[in-house]
Amino acid sequence: GAVVSQHPSRVICKSGTSVKIECRSLDFQATTMFWYRQFPKQSLMLMATSNEGSKATYEQGVEKDKFLINHASLTLSTLTVTSAHPEDSSFYICSARVGTVDYGYTFGSGTRLTVV
Amino acid sequence: AQTVTQSQPEMSVQEAETVTLSCTYDTSENNYYLFWYKQPPSRQMILVIRQEAYKQQNATENRFSVNFQKAAKSFSLKISDSQLGDTAMYFCAFMGYNNNDMRFGAGTRLTVKP
C-alpha cells in the first residue's frame, strides 16, 4: 500500500537551533499533506495543511514563523521548527491523502523532537 | 467547527471478548466521513475502519464493526474476539466532504488482557 516516509524518527536539539522534519510520499503524489502535533497521552492536533506549490494554511494559534512548512514538490513536505524551545518538544506526525478523500489518510511514522 | 468526543479515556477487555468504544461528533454538514484509527506503542497511525455518512449500512472489517447513528451523531467501534495485538490507543476522526482536514477525538486507551 501507499507509504508516507517521515524522517528523522527521533531528534534532539539545543534550544535556539532549528530542526527540519521531512515527509515523503512513496510511489504516489501528494498535493496536500497535513502536519499534526501530539503531546504525550493526548490526541493529534492539526497544525497546518501543506499544499504543493503554495503557502501552507495554519490552524489558529500555530505560529507560522516558528513552524515553517515547505511543500516544494508533489512528494515532499518539510516542517522546520525554528529557534526551538523546550516547549516545542513533542511528537510530530505528517499525513497525506491517497486516492479519493473517502479513504482517509496515510500517516508517517512520526518524529519525536526533544529540545534541551 | 467540527468536534469529536471520545468519553472513555481508558478501557480494558479480556482476550476473546467483545468491547465497544464510543465516539460522538458535532457537525452541521450532511455529507462527511468518519474513521477509526489505531495507534499502537510504535505510534504509527493505522486505519481500522471508515464510514461514509451517506451510507446507512454500518461498515465492517473482519473483527471490527461500527454502529453509525447519523441522527444521534454517534459512531461507536465494536471489536469482536479481542486479541492481545489490539492493545493500543484508538482515535475516532471526522472529515468533512468538502474539507480535506481530519479532526480527531481525544482517544481511548484499550488494553486487552490475557
* Neighboring chain A residues of B43 at a CB cutoff of 8 Å: 38, 91, 93, 109-110
Span B6-15, pLDDT tens digits: 999 999 999 9
Residue A93 near residue A79, CB atoms below 8 Å: no
Model pLDDT, residue A27? 84
The residues in A 32-91 lying below 8 A from B, measured between CB atoms, are 32, 34, 38, 41-46, 49, 91
Dist. CA A109–CA A92, nearest whole Å:
9
Span B40-60, pLDDT tens digits: 999 999 999 999 999 889 999
The one-character DSSP state at A75 is T
Residue B34 near residue B76, CB atoms below 8 Å: no
Query: Could you list the residue range(s) of the whole structural domain that residue B33 is in?
Result: 3-113
Residue B86 in 3-state DSSP? Answer: helix
Confidence of residue B66 (pLDDT cuts 50, 70, 90): very high
Span A48-86, pLDDT tens digits: 999 888 899 999 999 999 999 999 888 999 999 999 999
Inform me whether the pLDDT recorded for B113 exceeds 70: yes
Measure CB to CB from residue A109 to each of B44, B47, B104 and give the nearest one: B44
Dist. CA A80–CA A48, nearest whole Å:
12
Range list of H helices, B1-114: none
Q: Which three cell numbers stand for residue B60?
A: 465492517
Dist. CA A20–CA A91, nearest whole Å:
13
- Report how many domains make up chain B: 1
Span B13-26, pLDDT tens digits: 999 999 999 999 99
Dist. CA A19–CA A115, nearest whole Å:
10
Q: Which three cell numbers stand for residue A28?
A: 504516489
**What's the mean pLDDT in A84-91?**
96
| CATH number of the domain to which B46 belongs | 2.60.40.10
Dist. CA A37–CA A39, nearest whole Å:
7
The one-character DSSP state at B8 is -
Q: Nearest CA to CA, how far is B18 from chain A (Å)?
A: 24
Are the beta carbons of A49 and B33 separated by less than 8 Å? no
Q: Which three cell numbers stand for residue A116?
A: 534541551
Supply the mean pLDDT for chain B.
Answer: 94
Residue A103 in 3-state DSSP? Answer: helix
